[in-house]
């Protein structure tokens, strides 16, 4: 009796242990095989180049994971403005991923302030030589210190000022109320150019231009056009003060839960989606410029950019010190 009882206890113990073990293993397997849904927030409309990039990313992830990892893209800012969306991605809220302007990231990770420095890059090719370099990629990796996984940069052209008031020379900016992104360096830059900066979410700019709460704003041609700002602000001066790349981001805790194989799927898809976004950007920029022109916007090119650069010199002197090595490196790039 005693013996049969101990046999029973022993076999029960074994059964518990075995189930424990096998359920641990199957849990692990289930995690590898489980379906995951990732919510990705996009501020721009469904046909915008960054949204094309997001969707390409989603498509490639789905393909490579046999439908196991499903990225849902929410365009049009439906999940919130860029600041609140980044806060959610950072804290692991209901938004897992976003494509966002690196300017917005400055308040979450000061290193991203590099891109707000006025006239930092000569042109797109110098910018991309930096973004693709180890140092540029390191900045993406460093977002991990802010609980975010930077996966890729997207093209965003050059930003220039536009206004509902006359704007054909630097002196015209004097006293104008200009909407800016949430970025301390940009605020200083606009002040140095003689204007009054006002921080405001992107989605509010059209209404604010219409009501006269602001006189002006600044952006690349695709944003100026797709957000309809060009219908109210009919003066665009192409000073190209910043080239602020877009960034594709994921919550770090979510990233860390993926197996190395799945992380590779996600990273490879993000990297491959850059080409799609850039291609779409080139076409869209051309289309936007044509539309702006056809609408009768006064477009002024800037021949004496040195005058603008001179005006913002104190901003670069004050804020550039923390990025000295990176700036020196950028100057070595073609």
Residue ranges that bind ligand GTR, judged by CB under 6 A: 43, 82, 100-101, 104, 156, 181, 202, 219-220, 223, 246
- Which C-beta is closer to ligand GTR: that of 202 or that of 308? 202
Strand order of the β-sheet with 97-101 is: 69-74, 36-42, 97-101, 246-251, 148-154
- Which C-beta is closer to ligand GTR: that of 57 or that of 258? 57
- Which C-beta is closer to ligand GTR: that of 43 or that of 209? 43
Q: Considering the complex, what minimum distance in angstroms separates the CB of residue 106 from ligand GTR?
A: 11
Instruction: Please state whether beta strands 69-74 and 148-154 pair in parallel, antiparallel, or not at all (unpaired).
Output: unpaired
Q: Considering the complex, what minimum distance in angstroms separates the CB of residue 27 from ligand GTR?
A: 39
**Interaxial angle between packed helices 124-131 and 324-331, expressed in degrees from 0 to 180 and rounded to the nearest 10:** 120
- Which C-beta is closer to ligand GTR: that of 119 or that of 202? 202
Residues 6+ apart with CB under 8 A from 196: 175, 176, 177, 178, 190
Residues constituting the chain: 334
**3-state DSSP assignment of residue 175:** coil
Give CA separation, 70 vs 34, 55, 96, 209, 299, in Å.
11, 11, 12, 38, 43
Other beta carbons within 10 angstroms of residue 111's beta carbon come to 19
- Distance from C-alpha of 9 to C-alpha of 30, rounded to nearest angstrom: 30
Q: Considering the complex, what minimum distance in angstroms separates the CB of residue 245 from ligand GTR?
A: 10
DSSP 282-310: HHHHHHHHHHHHHTT-EEEE-S-HHHHHH
- Which C-beta is closer to ligand GTR: that of 142 or that of 285? 285
Q: Considering the complex, what minimum distance in angstroms separates the CB of residue 246 from ligand GTR?
A: 6
- Distance from C-alpha of 313 to C-alpha of 134, rounded to nearest angstrom: 28
- Which C-beta is closer to ligand GTR: that of 65 or that of 280? 280
- Which C-beta is closer to ligand GTR: that of 93 or that of 203? 203
Q: Considering the complex, what minimum distance in angstroms separates the CB of residue 48 from ligand GTR?
A: 8
- Distance from C-alpha of 167 to C-alpha of 25, rounded to nearest angstrom: 67
- Distance from C-alpha of 78 to C-alpha of 55, rounded to nearest angstrom: 16
Q: Considering the complex, what minimum distance in angstroms separates the CB of residue 150 from ligand GTR?
A: 15
- Which C-beta is closer to ligand GTR: that of 146 or that of 223? 223
Q: Considering the complex, what minimum distance in angstroms separates the CB of residue 180 from ligand GTR?
A: 8
- Distance from C-alpha of 280 to C-alpha of 155, rounded to nearest angstrom: 10
- Which C-beta is closer to ligand GTR: that of 65 or that of 222? 222
Q: Considering the complex, what minimum distance in angstroms separates the CB of residue 279 from ligand GTR?
A: 17
Q: Considering the complex, what minimum distance in angstroms separates the CB of residue 28 from ligand GTR?
A: 38
């Amino acid at each position: 009796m005693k013996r049969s009882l101990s046999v029973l206890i022993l076999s029960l113990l074994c059964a518990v242990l075995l189930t424990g073990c096998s359920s641990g293993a199957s849990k692990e397997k289930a995690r590898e095989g489980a379906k995951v849904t990732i919510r990705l927030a996009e501020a721009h409309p469904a046909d915008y180049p960054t949204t094309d990039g997001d969707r390409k990313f989603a498509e490639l992830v789905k393909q490579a994971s046999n439908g196991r990892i499903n990225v849902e893209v929410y365009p049009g800012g439906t999940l919130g403005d860029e600041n609140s969306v980044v806060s959610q991605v950072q804290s692991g809220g209901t938004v897992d991923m976003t494509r966002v302007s690196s300017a917005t990231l400055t308040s979450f990770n000061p290193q991203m302030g590099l891109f707000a420095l006025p006239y930092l890059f000569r042109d797109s090719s110098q910018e991309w030589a930096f973004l693709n370099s180890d140092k540029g990629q390191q900045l993406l990796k460093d977002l991990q210190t802010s609980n975010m996984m930077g996966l890729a940069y997207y093209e965003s052209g050059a930003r220039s000022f536009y206004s509902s008031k006359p704007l054909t020379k630097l002196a015209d900016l004097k006293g104008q109320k200009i909407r800016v992104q949430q970025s301390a360096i940009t605020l200083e830059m606009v002040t140095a150019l003689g204007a009054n900066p006002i921080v405001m979410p992107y989605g509010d700019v059209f209404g604010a231009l219409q009501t006269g709460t602001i006189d002006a704003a600044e952006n690349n041609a695709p944003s100026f056009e797709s957000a309809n700002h060009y219908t109210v602000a009919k003066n665009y001066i192409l000073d190209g003060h910043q080239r602020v790349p877009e960034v594709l981001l994921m919550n770090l805790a979510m990233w860390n839960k993926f197996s190395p194989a799945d992380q590779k799927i996600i990273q490879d898809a993000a990297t491959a989606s850059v080409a799609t976004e850039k291609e779409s950007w080139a076409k869209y920029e051309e289309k936007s410029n044509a539309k702006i022109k056809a609408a009768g916007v006064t477009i002024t090119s800037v021949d004496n950019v040195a005058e603008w650069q001179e005006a913002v010199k104190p901003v670069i002197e004050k804020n550039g010190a923390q990025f000295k090595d990176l700036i020196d490196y950028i100057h070595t790039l073609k």
